[in-house]
Structure 1
Amino acid sequence: MSGTLDPRVIHQAAQWFVQLHSPEASAREHEECARWRASHADHEAAWQKAVHVSQRLGQVPAGPGMTALARRQRIDRRDLLKTLMLAGAALPFAWAGYRGASAQGWLADYRTAAGQRRELALADGSRLQLDGASAIDLAYDADCRRLQLVRGQALLQMLDETRPFVVRTEHGCVRGQAARFNLREDADGTRLAVLEGRLEVRPRDSTQPPLQLQAGQQVRFDARLAGPVQALQEAPDAWTRGVLHLRDGRLDEFAAALQRYRPGFVTCAAEVAGLRLSGTFQLDNATPVLDSLPRILPVRVVHRTRYWAAILPA
């Protein structure tokens, strides 16, 4: 263990602590945290620091009954995370840790677990569908409807042509008034598909005028650039019916999609990440679909644990 803990590790420990002491914490999350703690001595030290801080401040009792009591007494996750971070690190790092937990979706207004889809009716009559392992925040006021896609994928049908809306992702924002569109946030960018209406897209760090899109068009954007604009391919909202249409897609992107429909991790080795595949896949049967890959590609699928599957070269 290093003499001084990296603030980023402290942040991760605080995030894990809050997540596991939520009433919604699953067995998978407990297993993932145990792996994280065991992977490095600093991780375990940071975890013990989070436990010590919480006990010292009276947030959570010590001992084996800690998790059970936390389930009976709903702990405010926002307050607990901010308390842990403020006690465990300097104020700037505390804020970063709070934002980091939000980025994972733990503090979002609405979220889904892997394999779960959720439909919501919003205050203005608009409708929202969340894909598996997704999260979104809402902030409505008299002048504008603001949403933040924290992670994952959402299909939005925004009504009320008299009031604008802004949907932000890690990579930029989408603006409009009345429109139906699909947003998916991946590690390398956000993908927008417009089914009805007109939208404008502005990457987060771009100084160029916003890009205009209309129904029947799609685009990928990262923090700097958007484009090129393309015609819609297949049905971008097919996931709402539990179906994935893939046309010459990369294997690592396919693995990321499957991960939203089964608990745990689906990793893809770099040697096979660029393999391409096409087809129509039933997402609600994600594990059988995953296990069928060796029949169509030169790969093998290894289930390291119940919650961790790896796609490797054959």
Structure 2
Amino acid sequence: MNEAQRAALKAASGWYARLCSGSSDASEQQAWQRWYDADAHHRQAWQQIEKLREQLGLLPGPIASSTLRGVDHGRRRLLGSLALVGLAAPLGWFAWQSDTRRYWLADYRSGVGERRQWQLSDGSELTLGTASAAQWHVDGQRRLLRLLSGEALIHCPGEARPLLVETRHGLVRSQGARFCVRSDEQGSQVAVLEQHVEVAPLRHLQSMQTLTAGHHLRFDAGQLGSPLANDAATAAWTQGSLIALDQPLGEVIAELARYRHGVLRLDPALGGLKVSGSFPLADTDRALAALEHSFPVRVVRRTDYWVTLVPKV
């Protein structure tokens, strides 16, 4: 693939995301048509996306989008759905947008160390954890929350329209549940606190599995993990705490690092140390002090933004 083809494919993916966002208007549709007609590379790139969409197939029925009126039938078939999982491939919205761009385009955002709450237009309650972002779309058929990054607690009222939560790895469907969803580069996790949800990985969206209250599982684009029982740590972030239950210190530090600016590092010699305790997420310096007091570690500060935990001698 040459540079022109790569550029056309990137642009096609961008147009796909914009036209499926639910916020495009007639002028944007006309601009897309001009882009499509302007170059053979553009048309070939668009055909690749359509072909990939068809190959991935087996997607749930389309979500109607009034923004796509006037687009010819063949293209409307692709664009008319919000494509519940973006494009479900490396050409997709999640891959095309950089992390920074996704964050600033979001309808709802939280900063590093923040926990923010909103009531959505359908009455659902949304809480975002640290450095998280989400987009929201609602129409006559479905309610769609795209979790772009981070973690969310959702409590949705039961009604005929399902609430769909999309991550880069798959889909969660609910009609009245209270549940948490988290997404990172390696995969996503859903934990059900009340009622039940259905979960499907990106590549198998028609094979939804029910997950009941009191359980959580991780999934990636290809498969679901085994359901596990929730424990005190599962949704502790919603109460502002990090609870470690005989957990490797490396995992605890990685989680605390999400809640503070700068660099938080761990000496490799401490990676296997297991720790337990409850640590405040709103004050990570206090959490580090608690670790230093209770375990054989020492906190070394070059600056407030460069902190390393080393073995205590």
Residue 77 of structure 2 is matched in structure 1 by none
Task: Name 2:215's counterpart in structure 1.
Answer: 217
Q: Contact 1:266–1:308 at 8 Å: present in 2 too? A: yes
Report Cα offsets for 1:225-279 as digits up to 9, x if no partner: 2221111111533322212222122323322321232222323455433432211
Give the 5 Å matches for 1:302-313.
302-313=300-311
Q: Which residue of 1 aligns with 2:188?
A: 190
How far, CA to CA, are the matches of 1:124 and 1:208 in structure 2? Answer: 26
Residue 226 in structure 1 maps to residue 224 in structure 2: yes
Amino acid at match of 1:263: H
The one-letter amino acid of 1:130's match is L
Distance 1:206 1:307, change over 3 A: farther
Q: 1:214 Cα deviation (Å)? A: 0.9
Aligned counterpart for 2:251 among listed residues 253, 256, 260? 253
CA distance in 1, matches of 2:175, 2:140: 14
Which moves more between the two structures, 217-226 or 252-261? 252-261
Q: Report the secondary structure of 1:136's partner residue.
A: strand
1: CA distance, partners of 2:212 / 2:185:
25
What residue is the counterpart of 2:155 in the other structure?
157
Mapped contact 2:171–2:205 kept (Cα < 8 A): no
Change (3 A) 1:272 1:133: same
Is this contact kept in 1: 2:292–2:299, CA < 8 A? yes
> Which residue does 2:167 correspond to in 1?
169
Instruction: For residue 98 of structure 1, report the CA deviation from its aligned partner.
Output: 5.6
2:139 corresponds to: 141
Identity value in percent: 41
2:173 partner letter: R
CA contact (8 A) 1:159 1:177 kept: yes
Matches of 2:191 and 2:206, distance apart in 1? 21
Structure 1 residue 120: deviation in Å? 0.2
- CA change 1:255–1:210 in 2 (3 A) is same
1:179 partner letter: A
Distance 1:309 1:180, change over 3 A: same
Gaps of 5+ in 1: 12-91
Deviation at 1:96, TM superposition (A): 8.4
Please give the TM-score of this superposition, normalised by the length of structure 1.
0.63
User: Alpha-carbon deviations, 1:168-197, whole Å to 9, x = none?
Assistant: 112211112111001122343222110112
How far apart are the structure 2 equivalents of 1:142 and 1:110? 22
CA-based RMSD of the aligned residues comes to 3.0
**What per-residue deviation string (whole Å, max 9, x for no partner) do you get for residues 13-38 of structure 1?**
xxxxxxxxxxxxxxxxxxxxxxxxxx
SS at 2:105 equivalent: coil
- The answer for the alignment partner of 1:57 in structure 2 is none
Correspondence for 2:283 among 285, 289, 292: 285
Task: Provide the rounded CA distance (Å) in 1 between the counterparts of 2:102 and 2:271.
Answer: 24
Q: Which stretch shows the higher mean deviation, 202-211 or 168-177?
A: 202-211
> Is structure 2 residue 97 aligned with structure 1 residue 99?
yes
Residues 152 and 252 of structure 1: is their aligned pair in 2 closer, same or farther, counting only changes over 3 Å?
A: farther
Q: CA contact under 8 A between 2:118 and 2:127: conserved in structure 1?
A: yes
1:190 touches 1:222 (CA, 8 Å); kept in 2? yes
CA spacing shift, 1:96–1:282, aligned 2, 3 Å? closer
Number of residue pairs matched? 225
- Counterpart of 1:289 in structure 2: which amino acid? A
By how many angstroms is 1:299 displaced?
Answer: 3.8
Which residue in the other structure is 1:128 paired with? 126
Structure 2 portions without partners, runs of 5+ = 11-89
Secondary structure (helix, strand or coil) at the match of 2:256 reads helix
- Do 2:94 and 2:148's aligned partners in 1 also have CA atoms closer than 8 Å? no
1:269-298 Cα distance to aligned partner (Å, 9 max, x none) = 554334322111121221121244334444
Q: Distance in 2 between matches of 1:108 and 1:264?
A: 23
Aligned residue among 94, 115, 118 for 1:117: 115
Q: Which amino acid aligns with 1:260?
A: R
Aligned partner of 1:158: which letter? C
2:237 aligned to which of 230, 236, 239: 239
Rounded Cα–Cα distance in structure 2 between residues aligned with 1:216 and 1:191: 14
